[in-house]
């Protein structure tokens, strides 16, 4: 019988993280990421990270000892070379799984307000206000710790410099967003979205940079990670959502030099009035053999493939979701075969060159696996960085356009999309055309066959 009463707040909050809102390692789904920011946030000592007084290893070892009879786990060391944070490999007992599933069901039914292993008292107004102030006060820290040569330094400064009251109106839409979230399928998606909505300290997203990516990330994930229908409900009918069309596929088709996919992208771009999207064309030969594979399953494979996920983990993902092997998928489609071959060739060229120069001209050194770095290479991290840098280059003009238009409020940046809210309704179409034109000019300059479209 699991006894949670003797556990301290740190251990309970860590259990909640592992069971309800884990960040799964994209190279090995058995592992859960436990970065210094995550662990210090759970511990309530995030200032230690800001002050460069990292105690992540010590805190994980404390949890390992304190939870040895409830959630035994192995600690995997971080690697600056591979861009990997600390992670754990937990062993979750059947009893703990059942308890967690029961709490999830009760949370989805709105029987409990917060997703946790134990019932928690709702925070007081004073506590909520304190949490909001602490959240908003992090703006200056993340700007201070952003390198001046970051490709989105000025954009980050502008985004985080916006006044919080500009987002207050979103509070009125939370109930509607929760109703949409509760209906999502599968139940795991519903729970993740409901949990995010229940834990927003403020409606304004605060952005930060990452050492391993040129992207801007929302601290604590929050609104940036909401599913599309939930996000639409939260921002309301006056918001306009724009995103890049098949961005990662178009990017790797260019930088990995895949003629077959570039030709297909060009054909579709030239015949857009016929309404044949790229995913339909990509799926046609696959579905002839494996009809259970749809757009969602294919996209869930393409994105991690572009960002360097190992073939072992790719195989496990496609087998788990579709019941076919990666080899079978590759044999069913020459386009997928070309994609995987080109990916392998890009890895080889990075190793041979010894350096990767991203789209902004910044050089990243390739590190060969050897005994000095515990046989860890950074080739997959470099491939992810390269693809994400092109994504940033494409979206940067969209942000800059909004920066120049006071009546066009940029309310959310997602890696390959934005949400805007024109404060003059009659100028909505003008703003959309202006943003799309700015992005298209950059796409044409980089020879990336994509466009920014309304969701």
Place of tokens 């805190």: 59
Place of tokens 């290893």: 57
Q: Is 376 found in the same domain as 287?
A: yes
Q: Is 337 found in the same domain as 283?
A: yes
The pLDDT, as a whole number, for residue 255 is 95
The pLDDT, as a whole number, for residue 114 is 87
Q: Is 66 found in the same domain as 137?
A: no
Cβ–Cβ < 8 Å for 437, 451:
no
Q: Is 130 found in the same domain as 165?
A: yes
HEC assignment per residue over the chain:
CCCCCCCCHHHHHHHHHHHHCCCECCCCCCCEECCHHHHHHHHCCHHHHHCCCCCHHHHHHHHHHHCCCCCCEEEECCECCCCECCEEEECCCHHHHHHHHHHHHHHHCCCCCCCCCCCCCCCCHHHHHHHHHHHHCHHHHHHHCCCCCCCCHHHHHHHHCCCHHHHHHHHHHHHHHHHHHHCCCCHHHHHHHHHHHHCCCCCCCCEEEECCEEEEEECCCHHHHCCHHHHHHHHCCCCEEEEECCHHHHHHHHHCCCHHHHHHHHHHHHCHHHCCCHHHHHHHHHHHHCCCCCHHHHHHHHHHHHCCCCHHHHHHHHHHHHCCCHHHHHHHCHHHHHHHHHHHHHHHHHHHHCEEECCCCCEEECCCCCHHHCCCCCHHHHHHHHHHHHHHHHHHHHHHHHHCCCCEEEEEEECCEEEEEECCHHHHHHHHHHHHHHHHHHHHHHCCCCCEEEC
Tell me the pLDDT of the chain averaged across its residues. Answer: 90
Whether 345 maps to a domain, the answer reads: yes
Phi, psi of 418 (to 5 degrees): -145, 155
The pLDDT, as a whole number, for residue 134 is 86
Phi, psi of 410 (to 5 degrees): -90, 105
Q: What angle do helix axes 247-255 and 259-270 make, rounded to 10 degrees?
A: 130
Model confidence pLDDT, tens digit, residues 77-87 = 877 666 678 99
Cα Rg, the chain, nearest whole Å: 23
What's the average model confidence in pLDDT over 415-422?
Answer: 96
The pLDDT, as a whole number, for residue 405 is 96
The pLDDT, as a whole number, for residue 167 is 93
Of 203, 237, 271, the position where a domain reaches its end is 237
* 11/7 Cα distance (integer angstroms): 6
Model pTM score: 0.88
For residue 90, list its beta bridge partners. 73
pLDDT-derived band at 55 (thresholds 50, 70, 90) equals: confident
Place of tokens 């502008």: 158
Residue 28 lies in domain = 9-100
Q: Is 355 found in the same domain as 263?
A: yes
* 305/202 Cα distance (integer angstroms): 34
The pLDDT, as a whole number, for residue 236 is 95
Q: Do you find a cis peptide bond into 62, omega within 30 degrees of 0? A: no
Structural domains in the chain (count): 3
Q: Is 75 found in the same domain as 144?
A: no
* 283/296 Cα distance (integer angstroms): 11
* 332/289 Cα distance (integer angstroms): 7
Whether 407 maps to a domain, the answer reads: no
The pLDDT, as a whole number, for residue 276 is 61
Model confidence pLDDT, tens digit, residues 109-161 = 888 888 999 988 888 889 889 889 888 988 988 888 899 999 999 999 999 99
Q: Is 319 found in the same domain as 283?
A: yes
Of 186, 211, 237, the position where a domain reaches its end is 237
Inter-CA distances, 99 with 19, 67, 118, Å: 10, 16, 10
Q: Is 334 found in the same domain as 213?
A: no
Whether 118 maps to a domain, the answer reads: no
Q: Is 382 found in the same domain as 294?
A: yes
Q: Is 169 found in the same domain as 40?
A: no
Phi, psi of 412 (to 5 degrees): -155, 135
Model confidence pLDDT, tens digit, residues 436-445 = 999 999 999 9
Phi, psi of 376 (to 5 degrees): -110, 130
Torsional sign, CA 215, 385, 57, 118 = positive
Whether 366 maps to a domain, the answer reads: yes
Inter-CA distances, 341 with 47, 56, 173, 176, Å: 45, 39, 46, 46
**In the predicted structure, residue 375 carries a pLDDT above the cut 70:** no
What's the average model confidence in pLDDT over 188-200?
Answer: 90
Whether 153 maps to a domain, the answer reads: yes
The pLDDT, as a whole number, for residue 377 is 78
Whether 394 maps to a domain, the answer reads: no
Cβ–Cβ < 8 Å for 420, 414:
no
Neighbours of 74 (CB within 10 A): 11
Whether 130 maps to a domain, the answer reads: yes
The pLDDT, as a whole number, for residue 82 is 60
Neighbours of 214 (CB within 10 A): 22
Q: Is 229 found in the same domain as 257?
A: no
Whether 297 maps to a domain, the answer reads: yes
Of 237, 270, 303, the position where a domain reaches its end is 237
Place of tokens 């709490």: 103
Q: Is 162 found in the same domain as 203?
A: yes
Model confidence pLDDT, tens digit, residues 268-325 = 998 876 656 888 899 999 999 999 999 888 888 888 888 778 888 888 888 888 899 9
Kindly report which listed range (210-219, 231-240, 249-258, 313-322) carries the lowest average pLDDT score: 313-322
């Amino acid at each position: 019988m699991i006894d949670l009463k003797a556990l301290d707040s740190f251990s309970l909050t860590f259990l909640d993280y592992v069971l309800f809102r884990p960040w799964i390692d994209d190279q090995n789904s058995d592992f859960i990421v436990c970065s210094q920011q995550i662990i210090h946030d759970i511990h309530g000592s995030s200032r230690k990270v800001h002050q460069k007084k990292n105690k992540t290893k010590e805190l994980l070892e404390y949890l390992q000892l304190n939870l040895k009879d409830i959630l035994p786990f192995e600690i995997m060391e971080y690697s600056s070379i591979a861009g990997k944070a600390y992670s754990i490999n937990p062993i979750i007992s059947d009893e703990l799984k059942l308890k967690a599933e029961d709490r999830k069901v009760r949370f989805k039914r709105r029987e409990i307000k917060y997703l946790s292993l134990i019932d928690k008292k709702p925070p007081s107004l004073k506590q909520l206000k304190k949490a909001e102030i602490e959240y908003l006060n992090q703006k200056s820290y993340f700007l201070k710790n952003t390198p001046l040569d970051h490709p989105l330094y000025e954009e980050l400064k502008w985004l985080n410099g916006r006044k919080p009251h500009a987002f207050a109106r979103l509070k009125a839409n939370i109930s509607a967003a929760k109703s949409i979230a509760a209906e999502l399928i599968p139940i795991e998606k519903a729970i993740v979205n409901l949990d995010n909505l229940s834990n927003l300290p403020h409606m304004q997203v605060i952005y930060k940079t990452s050492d391993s990516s040129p992207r801007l990330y929302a601290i604590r994930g929050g609104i940036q990670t909401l599913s599309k229908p939930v996000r639409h409900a939260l921002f309301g009918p006056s918001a306009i959502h724009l995103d890049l069309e098949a961005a990662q596929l178009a990017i790797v088709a260019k930088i990995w030099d895949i003629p077959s996919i570039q030709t297909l992208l060009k054909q579709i771009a030239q015949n857009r009035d016929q309404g044949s999207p790229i995913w339909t064309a990509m799926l046609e030969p696959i579905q002839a053999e494996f009809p259970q594979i749809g757009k969602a399953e294919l996209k869930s494979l393409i994105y991690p493939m572009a960002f360097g996920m190992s073939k072992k983990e790719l195989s496990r993902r496609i087998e788990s979701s579709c019941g076919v092997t990666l080899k079978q998928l590759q044999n069913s489609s020459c386009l997928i075969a070309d994609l995987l071959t080109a990916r392998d060739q890009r890895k080889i060229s990075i190793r041979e060159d010894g350096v990767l120069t991203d789209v902004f001209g910044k050089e990243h050194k390739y590190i060969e696996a050897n005994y000095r770095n515990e046989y860890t290479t950074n080739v997959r991290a470099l491939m992810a960085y390269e693809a994400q840098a092109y994504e940033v280059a494409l979206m940067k003009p969209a942000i800059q356009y909004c920066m120049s238009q006071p009546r066009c409020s940029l309310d959310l940046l997602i890696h390959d999309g934005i949400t805007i809210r024109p404060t003059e309704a009659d100028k909505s179409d003008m703003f959309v055309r202006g943003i799309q034109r700015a992005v298209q000019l950059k796409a044409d300059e980089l020879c990336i066959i994509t466009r920014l479209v309304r969701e």
